[in-house]
Amino acid sequence: MVRKRCIWILAMLAVIACGHVSPAAAFAQQPGVFHFGFKKSVNGQLPSIDEEGFKGIVTQHGALFLGDTSKKELYLTFDNGYENGYTPGILDVLKEKKVPAAFFVTGHYVKDQAELIKRMAGEGHIVGNHSWSHPDMSLLSEEQIRSELDKVKEQVLSLTGQKEMKYLRPPRGIFNERVLAASKRFGYTNVFWSLAYKDWDVNAQKGSQYAYEQVMKQLHPGAIMLLHSVSKDNADALGSIIDEARRQGYEFKSLDELTGSNSSSGTELLQ
């Protein structure tokens, strides 16, 4: 235990030396920092985070990771750290199939892909916050967290007129209770996931059939689905995933419908 503590202290000193965070913020990161993960769904059974040690603080602060597990409803979300050429096709499929989605965007994406941000909002999708610079937010002070989130919100507002930004996905799924509490005070609902696979490695794409199989074998009622838009496999498989999920009796819903928000996000797609 002492050795682990020493290693942690050395790591924090290195972070401070690099100038990424203040000493106070760095040493605020006590044990209790989590990387979101779960026991995956198999054969339609529900996934579980009961054994991960963080379910209590996730539920305490109103974070989402599952919808209503008594209903065959799905919530499709994408992480957009940068554009790899596939989001236009993804949006085409969503428009054709009339499926709402949430896109969690970084500052880099907002600056680099203004037209795609406008298209997401214009076609009724939710544009969510994935932070400005994709940091480990457990290392940041509360004011630094606010700054990371406000920059994204303000830039999206300037592009789309979207006055509200209610949903946050912490970068890399790293969080602690302080991150959840602070972001909740800033008006955000943290959105994690209950269905995901290793799709973000652009150098390890295995084909659309592989993506299809990875998603379908984890499908379960109330799933919040996390896909990365940089994946060619996901883009190529998306239409088939939607069609097969619907064949199995699933319905795609917006996060706003899950939270009971009055926002109209997603409704334009369903008319």
> What local confidence, expressed as pLDDT, does residue 262 receive?
57
Domain carrying residue 241: 36-270
79 is annotated as an active-site residue: yes
* pTM summary value: 0.86
179 has a pLDDT exceeding 60: yes
Q: For the residues 28-43, what does the mean pLDDT come to?
A: 81
> What local confidence, expressed as pLDDT, does residue 182 receive?
97
Asked if residue 187 and residue 145 are part of one domain, the reply reads yes
Options 79, 136, 236, 256, the catalytic residue: 79
Quick one: what percent of the chain has pLDDT higher than 90? 79
* pLDDT tens figures, 183-230: 999 999 999 999 999 999 999 999 999 999 999 999 999 999 999 999
Asked if residue 101 and residue 9 are part of one domain, the reply reads no
* pLDDT tens figures, 221-245: 999 999 999 999 999 999 999 999 9
Asked if residue 265 and residue 184 are part of one domain, the reply reads yes
Asked if residue 245 and residue 201 are part of one domain, the reply reads yes
228 is annotated as an active-site residue: yes
How confident is residue 43, by pLDDT bands cut at 50, 70 and 90? confident
Asked if residue 153 and residue 21 are part of one domain, the reply reads no
CB 266 within 8 A of CB 126: yes
Asked if residue 71 and residue 2 are part of one domain, the reply reads no
Asked if residue 40 and residue 1 are part of one domain, the reply reads no
Asked if residue 22 and residue 132 are part of one domain, the reply reads no
* pLDDT tens figures, 140-177: 999 999 999 999 999 999 999 888 899 999 999 999 99
Options 134, 228, 233, 236, the catalytic residue: 228
* pLDDT tens figures, 123-141: 999 999 999 999 999 999 9
66 has a pLDDT exceeding 90: yes
